[in-house]
């Protein structure tokens, strides 16, 4: 007999006390608390683990603090390409989307792929065609913009272009803050 | 990258991960997040995992599924399995990042080999734990 439980993450990397001031640290902790509380409440009410993880992730997707949906990092071309996946442990059924640009909640679309398609992963234009068929609302890619991520893009591009190494090697030299959120 | 894993009152596990990928990515690059087995995995017989980190390494070492397989076939606990992959296999290969894990009994473990990982957890009857740094 086990207990119900939930855990969440909002990204890993070069996160030190020197990089975060008190105000930023408080903001991250408050949003993490909001997300974990939402998921826990669903579980405490007898809801499913699937509903709990989706609810928690969607709160973080809507926050500019994290690298997902609103707050996502920029591609080289200055856009946002979003990925998401969902899996349930009772049936081993899974759904995933890659490289979508106009879906407000990629995790919701990943779950839709799991529940409403015979496939596991859909990508790019095809994933958005599926979303349209399922009645998903589309948003402008600019909705995911944030100033601090745009500055990160400019910094990363400058470092890559200044390097005398081939692009792939130059990219490898970037600090981990550019490699993931 | 953001993610969540959970075990409900029925004993069912689920995992979810969502990301914008890496800064300045080109060529339609995708990382581990949408790759089932690399960045996300759930199996009621073992555990549920969501990953965050340098995705190419998580793909090569199918990190999320590897942790659950170790629990399932080696019969080790969630901490042993998670630490072996994140602090052993992944780190030895030069990969950085972390995972959140909840096992089939509701035990939670959140190992990472970077300076920090934004994370939180709550187990039935317990308090919410929110943390960022290693210590």
Res A164 pLDDT > 70: no
Residue scoring higher pLDDT (A174 or B68) = B68
Average pLDDT over residues A21-27: 96
**Considering chain A, what is the average pLDDT of its residues?**
92
Of B50, B115, B118, the CB nearest to A16: B115
Q: Do A52 and B97 touch (CB under 8 A)?
A: no
- pLDDT at residue A178 is higher than 90: no
pLDDT of residue B87: 98
Contact B20 A84 (CB under 8 A): no
* A-B contacts (CB, under 8 Å): 339
Active site residue ranges of B:
1
A94 pLDDT band, cuts 50/70/90, is very high
Q: Do A85 and B34 touch (CB under 8 A)?
A: yes
Is residue A134 a contact partner of residue A116, using CB atoms and an 8 Å limit?
yes
Instruction: Give whole-number Cα distances, A128 to A80, A81, A94, A104, A134, in Å.
Output: 14, 12, 18, 11, 10
Nearest by Cα to A146 from A64, A83, A75, A80: A64
Tokens of B25: 């990515």
Q: Does B74 reach chain A within 8 Å, measured CB to CB?
A: no
Q: Does A108 touch chain B (CB under 8 A)?
A: no
CA atoms of B120 and A19, how far apart (whole Å): 20
Contact A68 B48 (CB under 8 A): no
The number of beta carbons lying within 10 Å of the beta carbon of residue A34 is 14
Residues 155..174 of A with a Cβ closer than 8 Å to B: which? Answer: 156-157, 160, 171
Chain A touched by B105 (CB under 8 Å): yes
- For residue A176, the model assigns a pLDDT of 57
Residue A22 burial (10 A CB sphere; 0-12, 13-18, 19+) = exposed
Cα–Cα distance measured from residue A105 to residue B103, given in angstroms and rounded to the nearest whole number: 27
Q: What is the residue-averaged pLDDT of chain B?
A: 97
Instruction: Mutation target for B interface from A1, A12, A104: give the one with most B CBs within 10 A.
Output: A12
**How far apart are the C-alpha atoms of A49 and B121, rounded to whole Å?**
14
Residue B60 confidence class, pLDDT cut points 50, 70, 90: very high
- Angstrom distances, CA of residue A86 to CA of A116, A143, B16: 13, 23, 4
pLDDT tens track for B117-130? 999 999 999 999 99
- Interatomic CA distance for residues A19 and A15, integer angstroms: 6
CA–CA min distance B61, chain A (Å) = 18
Which position has the token pair 């997300």?
A35
Partners of B43 on chain A (C-beta within 8 Å) are: 89, 92
Which of A86, A12, A98 minimizes the C-alpha distance to A55? Answer: A86
What pLDDT, on a 0 to 100 scale, did the predictor assign at position A160?
83
Q: Is the dihedral of CA A34, A39, A44, A47 positive or negative?
A: positive
Do A84 and A109 meet the contact criterion of CB atoms below 8 Å apart?
yes
Contacts of B120 in chain A (CB under 8 A): 7-8, 32-33, 35-36
The more confidently predicted of residues A181 and B61 is B61
Tell me what ipTM this predicted complex has.
Answer: 0.98
Asked if A85's CB is within 8 angstroms of B39's CB, the reply is: yes
Angle at A157 between CA A152 and CA A161, to 5 degrees: 155
Identify the band that residue A40 occupies on the pLDDT scale cut at 50, 70 and 90.
Answer: very high
Strand partners, B53: B97
B8 to A4: CB separation less than 8 angstroms, yes or no = yes
């Amino acid at each position: 007999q086990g207990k119900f439980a939930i855990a969440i993450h909002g990204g890993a990397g070069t996160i030190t006390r020197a990089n975060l001031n008190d105000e930023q640290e408080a903001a991250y902790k408050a949003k993490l608390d909001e997300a974990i509380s939402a998921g826990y409440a669903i579980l405490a009410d007898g809801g499913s683990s699937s509903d709990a993880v989706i609810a928690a992730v969607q709160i973080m997707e809507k926050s500019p603090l994290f690298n997902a949906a609103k707050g996502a990092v920029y591609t080289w071309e200055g856009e946002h390409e979003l990925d998401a996946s969902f899996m349930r442990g009772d049936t081993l059924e899974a759904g995933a989307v890659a490289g979508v640009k106009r879906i407000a909640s990629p995790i919701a679309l990943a779950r839709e792929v799991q529940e409403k398609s015979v496939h596991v992963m859909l990508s790019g234009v095809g994933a958005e065609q599926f979303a349209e068929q399922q009645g998903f609302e589309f948003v402008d890619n600019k909705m995911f913009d944030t100033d601090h991520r745009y500055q990160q893009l400019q910094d990363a591009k400058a470092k890559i272009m200044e390097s005398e190494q081939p692009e792939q090697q130059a990219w490898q030299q970037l600090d981990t803050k550019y490699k993931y959120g | 990258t953001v993610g969540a894993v959970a075990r409900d009152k029925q004993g069912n596990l689920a995992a979810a991960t969502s990301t914008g990928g890496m800064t300045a990515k080109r060529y339609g690059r995708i990382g581990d997040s949408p790759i089932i087995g690399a960045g996300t995995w759930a199996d009621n017989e073992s555990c549920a995992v969501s990953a965050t980190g340098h995705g190419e390494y998580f793909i090569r070492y199918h990190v999320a599924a590897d942790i659950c397989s170790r629990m399932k076939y080696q019969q080790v606990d969630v901490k042993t399995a998670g630490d072996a992959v994140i602090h052993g296999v992944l780190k030895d290969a030069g990969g950085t990042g972390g995972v959140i894990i909840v096992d089939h009994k509701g035990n939670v473990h959140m190992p990472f080999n970077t300076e920090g990982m934004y994370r939180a957890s709550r187990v039935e009857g317990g308090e919410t734990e929110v943390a960022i740094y290693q210590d």
